[in-house]
Structure 1
Amino acid sequence: MSVTLSDQDKTTLRTAAYGAVSLMSAAAGAASPHKVATQGSIALTSATGLVGHVLAERSSPVGDLGGKSAAELADRVLPALTASVALLRKQAPGEADNFRSTVLVAVEAAAGAGKGGPGPALDAMTRKITGALDAA
């Protein structure tokens, strides 16, 4: 079965996935936010299936990830994570778990980018991201 996602659906998926990495970077604190973002983004490039194709597309924008704080970023990204899982469960059920695991691998890679392991802020952000993925 071939699944066709709208441009808006694809933007939501990319906003959610790359936004999760951005949230981890915002929570990096003493760890290097650049390293956190780099490791998380590299992990997203390993995605396969429909999710991998959508995340690899560079033709459309990721969406508005701007914000003056982690809270403003979270206001966009956490609902996008929940919406992405719900969307995929409806349109491509096999891809919902693929998306969830892809994002969690990226979050884990991002959390492991700092010296000495993730701190409390990265752990807390990981829980928030996981909660948003599980809320669908």
Structure 2
Amino acid sequence: MSVTLTDQDKLTLRTAAYGAVSLLVAADATGKPHKIATDGSLALGSATGLVGHVLAEKSKPVKLDGKSVAELADHVLPALTATMSLLAEQAPAEADNFRSTVLVAIEAAQQVYQGKPGPTLVEMVRKITAALDAA
């Protein structure tokens, strides 16, 4: 089965994936947001399958701005759920691929904490995982 995603679907997928990393950066308490962003983005760049192709495309930039973490979360968390729903409907294997890609990016971003993430980051990871599982 061939999966065809619209430009909007692809933008939502990229917003969800890169937005998850951005939420971790926003929840950072280490003072090393650049390290979290780099490690998370590198993990997303290693994605394979349809998800990897969409994340690697050069297209309209993803807008991940907000005046607060709440505004960013209002945009990103629904995008995570929407992407999972879309992929589950069109290509269940790619839904699993997307979920694992985002979770690997989260794990990579948490490396800066050397196994000791603070409660703020733990809660943000919980919210991201809940959004992935809400579909």
1:12 — aligned with what?
A: 12
The number of aligned residues is: 135
Residue 3 of structure 1 aligns to a residue whose secondary structure is coil
Q: Quick one: distance in 1 between partners of 2:114 and 2:31?
A: 7
Q: Quick one: distance in 2 between partners of 1:116 and 1:100?
A: 21
TM-score, normalising length from structure 1? Answer: 0.95
Aligned residues: CA RMSD = 1.2
Mapping for residues 1-136 of structure 1, pairs under 5 Å: 1-62=1-62, 64-115=63-114, 117-136=116-135
What's the offset of the Cα at 1:116?
A: 6.0
Residue-by-residue CA offset, 1:15-64 (whole Å, 9 max, x unaligned): 000000000000012241111111000000111000000001122222x2
Q: Once the two structures are aligned, what percentage of the paired residues are identical?
A: 73
Unpaired stretches in structure 1, ≥5 consecutive residues: none
Q: Quick one: distance in 2 between partners of 1:117 and 1:20?
A: 19
TM-score, normalising length from structure 2? Answer: 0.95
Residue 113 of structure 1 aligns to a residue whose secondary structure is helix
What's the offset of the Cα at 1:73?
A: 0.2
Unpaired stretches in structure 2, ≥5 consecutive residues: none
Q: Quick one: distance in 2 between partners of 1:116 and 1:102?
A: 20
Q: Quick one: distance in 2 between partners of 1:71 and 1:7?
A: 26
